[in-house]
Amino acid sequence: MLNKKLTLSIILFIFSFINYSLSASSSDATPIRNIVIWHGLGDSCCFPFSMGKIKDIIQNQYPGVYVKSIEIGSSIDEDVYNSWFKNVNEQIDMACEMIKADTNLTNGFNAVGFSQGSLFLRAFVERCNDPPVHNLISIGGPQNGVFGAPRCATTNGTFCNVARNLLELGAYDEYVQNNLVPAEYWQDPLQYSKFLEKSIFLADINNMKDVKNQTYKDNLLSLNKFALTLFLNDTIVIPRESEHFGWYEEGQAKNIIPMEKTQLYQEDWIGIQQLDNEGKLIFLESPGNHLQFTEQWFIENIIPLLNE
């Protein structure tokens, strides 16, 4: 009788061990943190061919992971419109509230931004970061802004033409600054003083004004990783080097200097020099034009960053 009880105990122990091992293996295959993604200009949270596709790729690689795709507005159409014409600071405030209210994100998350969505997620980290971002991934994000109007052949023609017309009025006109999204990260290297004075978004989150916001820097330094993707043949983000924090030499719009030679980096206004020195700044490249990456490239380069 004792031997039977001993044998049964051994069998139960073995089954318990196998069940634990399988459970541990399964948890290793799933990211500890859930994920937030934010689309770019003229896109939406939920188009099946863009952010919907990205969400599918992530969830195919990590079954069961929660993916929050930021939607600014109450419909896809409104989300697209707002990506062009809703004040960016208001968008960041809305995102801060929606992310904090999402109980699936309470323990923190990894964030992936696409084009201007990358810039907006960085603004979330600097201004809110509640709950905190672990890894921040920028895919084609204009981190130092743009100095070139959007190409209307590649996006919504009506909205884009309105945007170009507004930019012709002047990116730093008060109405344009407050109502045209690309104007809010427009950095004119030939009018730097005017940019600092009039910019309501980019000059602030890049800590370019005389009074620096230490919280912005502290929050960015809390990141585990900050990954930056540059598209080698990008004709949408001008200059494309902005995707790696590069920019024009001061006072002209021809010669481009790398991140390490910018004042933003050398004086470490937002902490990217320290992140770089600590090995937390990651530089990625993708062939092709803006956001023209393959599923395989995304799986090989981005998916591993979501499992840290």
Q: Which residues are catalytic?
A: 115, 234, 290
Residue 22 host element (H or E): helix 2-28
213-216 own/partner pairs: CB under 8 Å, 24+ apart: 213/126, 215/126, 215/127, 216/126, 216/127, 216/270
Please provide the DSSP assignment of 147-202 as one string. Answer: SSPPPGGGS-HHHHHHHHHHHHH-TTSHHHHHH-GGGGGB--TTSHHHHHHH-SSH
Phi/psi for 231 (5° steps) reads -95, 120
Among residues 197, 220, 229, the alpha carbon closest in space to that of 302 is found at 229
Selection from 104, 80, 82 nearest residue 93 by Cα: 82
